[in-house]
């Protein structure tokens, strides 16, 4: 990832919002480990927890070498950090690609053409990354407007199908609420991505801007949950892609082919998410070997993502294992708190010796 052209804080947060919404539009509580604990209340509580964790992670990123969770290049710990973050980024890339492939070959295309979907999707993401972060961020504002318009059209198209008798408000015990709140925190890989991208941003993000970002994705998740609940009721929780199920099962009189709008949104958000994390993986792999960033790092990592996605797409038990591993929170705790904290402690110790 070429960081010569830095981006603004707002551009960064727009990119990460688009990336996060890729997971939100496919929201399915029953598809997640411990999904029965996820309610609108736990989602809102999780937003507070995510904000506190993000603020603590940004605090650990403030050191003598700049604003980044990574130590200055040259030491062994820098290689360890880069290697671990590379694994984290690749895990999110593969998880995103397999989710995209699963939707496309289940709802849109014949399953025999999985390899075509995988190669096309990953190649498009790699091409976007090879253009540089600044180019990707410039298009983020336009995509955000289009996303808002598309979601507005879908909301208007579904309003006749809303049934408030489907609304249910569950107040879970404290332990169950904490478990449900943890689930949303655990799956938010964009939090460690934000820390890694701080060095490409003009100026440090303020607490208010981070609160706005966390609040936006939290309210977006709650809105998707509410929409699928009112539209499909308990049936929606059993579907792997409840939003798509809602837009295809509704009887539209004014808005025709609403499912095609959802498909466009899904493709755009999937490409943004893959591009963000593929850019991180490419930059980290180049940095770990102390080599300049070039396009070949992008295409090399993209080839690994495509190969892993094709292997996992044919083995459901492996996909479930990957999802459960991510649902433990290893990406958020390790990438947002542990690695930055270790770097902060090492940096503080060096300053005392100096």
Residue 351 domain flag: no
Q: Bigger pLDDT: 84 or 233?
A: 84
The pLDDT tens digits of the residues spanning 28-42 come to: 554 444 455 677 888
Work out the pLDDT band at 137, boundaries 50, 70, 90. Answer: confident
Residue 211 domain flag: yes
How many domains is the chain built from?
1
Query: 270 is written with which tokens?
Result: 């999937």
Residue 26, domain extent? 9-346
Does the pLDDT at position 215 exceed 90? yes
Determine the 3-state secondary structure of 20 from DSSP: helix
Determine the 3-state secondary structure of 277 from DSSP: helix
Determine the 3-state secondary structure of 66 from DSSP: strand
Distance set, CA 133 to CA 41, 222, 291, 292 (Å): 36, 30, 18, 15
What is the CATH classification number for the domain harbouring 77?
Answer: 1.20.1740.10
Measured N-to-C along each axis, helices 40-61 and 207-232 cross at an angle, to the nearest 10 degrees, of: 160
266-282: b or e for each residue (b if 16 or more CB lie within 10 Å)?
Answer: bbbbbbbbbbbbbbbbb
For range 147-163, the mean pLDDT: 79
Work out the pLDDT band at 238, boundaries 50, 70, 90. Answer: low
**In whole angstroms, what is the distance from residue 341 CA to residue 206 CA?**
20
What is the chain's mean pLDDT, rounded? 83
Neighbouring residues of 169: CB distance < 8 A, sequence distance ≥ 6: 39, 40, 41
Residue 114 domain flag: yes
pLDDT of residue 251: 56
pLDDT of residue 34: 43
Least confident of 208-217, 250-259, 274-283, 318-327: 250-259
pLDDT of residue 324: 83
Residue 2 domain flag: no
The pLDDT tens digits of the residues spanning 44-103 come to: 889 999 999 999 999 999 876 678 898 877 778 888 999 999 999 999 999 999 988 888
Residue 4 domain flag: no
% of residues, the chain, pLDDT over 90: 31
Highest mean pLDDT among 145-154, 236-245, 285-294, 329-338: 329-338
Q: CA 206, 219, 204: angle at the middle one, nearest 5?
A: 10
Neighbouring residues of 148: CB distance < 8 A, sequence distance ≥ 6: none
The pLDDT tens digits of the residues spanning 263-294 come to: 888 888 999 999 999 999 999 998 888 787 78
Residue 198 domain flag: yes
Terminal alpha carbon distance of the chain: 33
The pLDDT tens digits of the residues spanning 329-346 come to: 899 999 999 999 998 888
pLDDT of residue 51: 95
Alpha helices in 104-201 (DSSP H): 114-130, 133-158, 174-186, 190-196
Residue 3 domain flag: no
Residue 186 domain flag: yes
Whole-number CA gyration radius for the chain: 20
For range 200-220, the mean pLDDT: 90
């Amino acid at each position: 990832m070429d960081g010569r052209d830095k981006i603004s804080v707002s551009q960064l947060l727009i990119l990460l919002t688009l990336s996060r919404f890729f997971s939100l539009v496919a929201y399915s509580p029953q598809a997640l480990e411990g999904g029965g604990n996820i309610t609108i209340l736990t989602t809102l509580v999780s937003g507070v927890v995510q904000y506190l964790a993000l603020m603590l992670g940004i605090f650990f990123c403030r050191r003598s070498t700049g604003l980044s969770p990574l130590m200055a290049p040259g030491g062994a710990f820098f290689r360890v950090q880069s290697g671990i973050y590379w694994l984290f980024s690749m895990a999110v890339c593969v998880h995103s690609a397999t989710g995209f492939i699963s939707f496309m070959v289940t709802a849109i295309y014949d399953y025999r053409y999985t390899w075509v979907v995988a190669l096309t999707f990953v190649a498009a993401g790699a091409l976007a990354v090879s253009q540089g972060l600044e180019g990707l961020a410039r298009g983020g504002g336009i995509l955000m407007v289009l996303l808002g318009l598309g979601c507005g059209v879908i909301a208007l198209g579904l309003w006749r199908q809303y049934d408030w008798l489907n609304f249910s408000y569950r107040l879970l015990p404290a332990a169950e609420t904490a478990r449900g709140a943890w689930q949303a925190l655990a799956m938010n890989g964009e939090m460690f991505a934000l820390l890694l991208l701080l060095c490409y941003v003009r100026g440090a993000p303020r607490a208010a801007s981070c609160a706005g970002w966390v609040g936006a994705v939290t309210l977006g998740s709650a809105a998707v949950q509410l929409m699928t609940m009112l539209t499909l009721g308990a049936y929606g929780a059993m579907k792997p892609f409840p939003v798509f199920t809602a837009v295809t099962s509704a009887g539209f009189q004014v808005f025709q082919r609403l499912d095609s709008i959802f498909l466009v949104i899904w493709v755009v958000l999937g490409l943004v998410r893959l591009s963000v994390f593929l850019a991180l993986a490419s930059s980290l792999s180049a940095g770990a070997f102390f080599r300049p960033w070039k396009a070949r790092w992008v295409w090399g990592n993209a080839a690994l993502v495509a190969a892993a996605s094709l292997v996992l797409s044919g083995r459901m038990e492996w996909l479930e294992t990957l999802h459960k591993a991510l649902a433990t929170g290893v990406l958020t705790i390790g990438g947002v708190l542990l690695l930055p904290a270790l770097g902060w402690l090492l940096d503080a110790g060096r300053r005392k010796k100096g």
